Structure 1
């Protein structure tokens, strides 16, 4: 019959050497694996933090660039509006000149038809 791995005797609870070594190796392996996992998680968190910082900086740069473009577009829109006003005034002046030319032609025809 095999000797039990854990005994309760007059010295208290005792464990077999094979079980003790198995437990020690398992706990050591678990600590080693946990440390490696923790280190890789910290490394991944550092990379993620770095990527987030770069993304934040890119967003700030893009916002500044967007604000500059928006200012330029506003200037162009204002310029276009002023040109539209000028063209409207020019169109009115041309229409007035056409009307005056018609009136002048009408008067000249009347004068030319008189004996």
Structure 2
């Protein structure tokens, strides 16, 4: 039958198109899943790298802060020592000025 051959060919063509469409749809889904997996892997790698960098920066900042505290303690000690020496020098100078004032007074009285 002529009509039956046309219907059979149409059904076969539709079935082939459906098959190709299904394969293409499956391939697209697989490609999308692979891309998503790759993006997740890259994102995870970037986040881990960022966390490692932050840990290193924190450790470095802690070392710098410790060194700064030690330097500030030494500087404070040096300033206190200098201040003490300056007070001693002022006291010695005051004693000498007092002595000179006494000498001047005694000289003026004679």
Structure with the larger RCO, 1 or 2 (CA within 8 Å, 6+ apart) = 1
TM-score, scaled relative to structure 1: 0.80
TM-superposed deviation, 1:61: 0.8
1:15-70 CA-partner distances (Å, limit 9, x unpaired): 82222222111111000111111112111211111111111111111111110000
Q: Distance in 1 between matches of 2:40 and 2:47?
A: 10
Cα separation, 1, equivalents of 2:71 and 2:35: 53
TM-score normalized by the length of structure 2: 0.83
Match of 1:39 in 2: 34
Deviation sequence 1:50-102 (CA, Å, 0-9, x none): 11111111111111111000000000111111112112212211221121111
Q: Work out the number of aligned pairs and report it.
A: 103
| Aligned equivalent of 1:95 | 90
Structure 1 vs Structure 2 CA RMSD: 2.0
User: Unmatched 5+ residue regions in structure 1?
Assistant: 4-14
1:52 match: 47
